[in-house]
Amino acid sequence: MGNEKSIKQQLMLLPLALLLGACSGQSTTSPAVSQPKAAVIPALPPQARQQPAQPWCLPTCSSALTSERETWRQMLIKAGAGE
């Protein structure tokens, strides 16, 4: 009876030993092979690039337009909430 218990315990350890053996079988000598390659981001074609700002367009003009758009957005939100 004691012998059966010992055999069961040994059989329970067998899957654990197999799993540990499988994990240790991975090679750590060449990590460069297992590392994924870095993503390459292609450059934008010239027609997709943003044009430089015109010399007559001041930064204050852009900020005023942004402020005006925010005002319009808030008005639309309030009008939509009133329905």
In order of 13, 23, 52, 58, 77, the CA distances from 18 in angstroms are 9, 9, 64, 70, 63
Q: Which of 34-43, 52-61, 64-73 has the highest mean predicted lDDT (pLDDT)?
A: 64-73
pTM over 0.75: no
In order of 19, 68, 82, the CA distances from 77 in angstroms are 59, 14, 9
Q: Which position has the higher pLDDT, 24 or 81?
A: 81
Segment 18-40, tens digit of pLDDT: 887 776 665 555 555 667 788 89
